[in-house]
Amino acid sequence: MNHNTPLSHSPRPLRHLSHVQRRVLTTAQLKAHGVSAAETNEQCRPGGPWQQFLPGVFLLHPGPPTSEERLHAVLMFAGRSPARPAPAIPAQPGAEAPHAQRPYTDAVITGLAALTLHGFTSAPPLLSLDSIDVLVPRLRRLRSTGCARVVRTPSMPTPSYVTGVPVAPVPRALADAVAELSDANAVRRLLTEAVRAGHCEPAAVVRELTQARLLSRPHVVDAVDSLLAEGRSIAEDRLYRMVREFGLPDPVWNVDLRLPGGPHLGGLDAYWPEQAVALELDTRAPRQDEDALWSEYARKREHLERLGITVVHITPKKLRDAMEQQATVVRTALMASNDRDPAAYVVVLPR
């Protein structure tokens, strides 16, 4: 008999619960196993073998819960789970869980607990967290209690699954964690690790922080500035590697262009003077002035192209995920220079 088998026909149902793989069950799940409310209350008496951990959620042992049990208890409390528990089949971190592994709906782990599950070394161990943040739809009637801190959202994110646990994407988990942190160093460490360890791009983090209205906090703004600097440094390193590994001609790096005796045309991350090809890393952060900043990018690009200079824009994400494809884009622009009219003469200065 496995733990999905109803026990309502067994004369001694409690004996069979010792074989349940996960020792956390809800009232509805216990009922499906043939355990009445009276029997549950009897098992949870002072000094008894069970304990009520959260409203409607029970630990089938008297000791403290494991980190896994805490996570599943919070999800059982906050989510709409089926009466019969699904088998706990381990999943690879970040992988999509098969349908049978998704016993929870309308509940996703977020905040510091989610970052720990994503593998952040700067996030605390699960057992050291006083509370576990769980996302639920905004209209759910649910209050924080015990170790479950309810975070309401108008739009539930698509979770990834870590060992069967639904976890918010890193940018959303970061925003929810930062919302509860006043320690500037802790915020900076989390944001920096998100980019340095390759969990996500800076733009995605800033977008979530903006939506959460956290950029009015000075310590968050300072951390974001460090995040953007970190992101640009990593993107530049990838750009150098792309040129080297895919055999592109060496450009001049980090230059300003000017017309002779005329105005400043703008700064570039790389420029090939003989082919009149310019490359710019698009590291804009989606803040409130994004439209104005994009207009500035567009004006610079249009001005350079009127002078016969081809401008290639590359985002850090494309450079990370499709470096070979971006190298092909640059190589194609360099080869096409032979078919274009000569570009206007410009002055190239170090930036």
Same domain? 172 vs 94: yes
Same domain? 175 vs 29: yes
Identify the domain boundary among 180, 210, 234. Answer: 180
Same domain? 271 vs 158: no
User: Considering the domain boundaries, does residue 194 fall inside one?
Assistant: no
User: Considering the domain boundaries, does residue 191 fall inside one?
Assistant: no
Instruction: Note the pLDDT tens digit of each residue in 23-44.
Output: 899 999 899 888 999 999 999 9
DSSP per-residue letters across 128-192? G-S-EEEEEETT-----BTTEEEEEESSPPPPEEETTEEE--HHHHHHHHHTT---HHHHHHHHH
Q: What is the pTM of this model?
A: 0.76
SS3 281: strand
pLDDT attached to residue 4:
42
Same domain? 71 vs 147: yes
Same domain? 267 vs 153: no
User: Considering the domain boundaries, does residue 232 fall inside one?
Assistant: no
pLDDT attached to residue 193:
94
The residues with which 336 forms a beta bridge, in sequence order, are none
Same domain? 289 vs 157: no
The CA distances from residue 239 to 250, 251, 277, 308, 336, in Å, are: 11, 11, 15, 24, 21
pLDDT attached to residue 262:
78
Identify the domain boundary among 145, 162, 180. Answer: 180
> Which residues are CB-neighbours of 150 under 8 A, at least 6 positions away?
78, 134, 136, 140, 142, 143, 144
Same domain? 153 vs 261: no
Domain range spanning residue 18? Answer: 13-180
Count structural domains, the chain: 2
**14-23, 186-195, 319-328: which has the minimum mean pLDDT?**
14-23
Cα separation of 351 and 347, whole Å? 12
Same domain? 136 vs 49: yes
**261-265, 270-274, 306-310: which has the minimum mean pLDDT?**
261-265
User: Considering the domain boundaries, does residue 264 fall inside one?
Assistant: yes
User: Considering the domain boundaries, does residue 236 fall inside one?
Assistant: no
User: Considering the domain boundaries, does residue 241 fall inside one?
Assistant: no
Is the confidence at residue 13, as pLDDT, over 80? no
Higher pLDDT, 237 or 102: 237
Average pLDDT score, the chain = 85
Same domain? 332 vs 254: yes
Same domain? 139 vs 281: no
CATH number (domain holding residue 312) = 3.40.960
Quick count: other Cβ atoms within 10 Å of Cβ 164?
23
Contact yes or no for 227/210 (Cβ under 8 A): no
Cα separation of 30 and 277, whole Å? 68
User: Considering the domain boundaries, does residue 187 fall inside one?
Assistant: no
User: Considering the domain boundaries, does residue 176 fall inside one?
Assistant: yes
Higher pLDDT, 132 or 34: 132
Identify the domain boundary among 180, 204, 225. Answer: 180
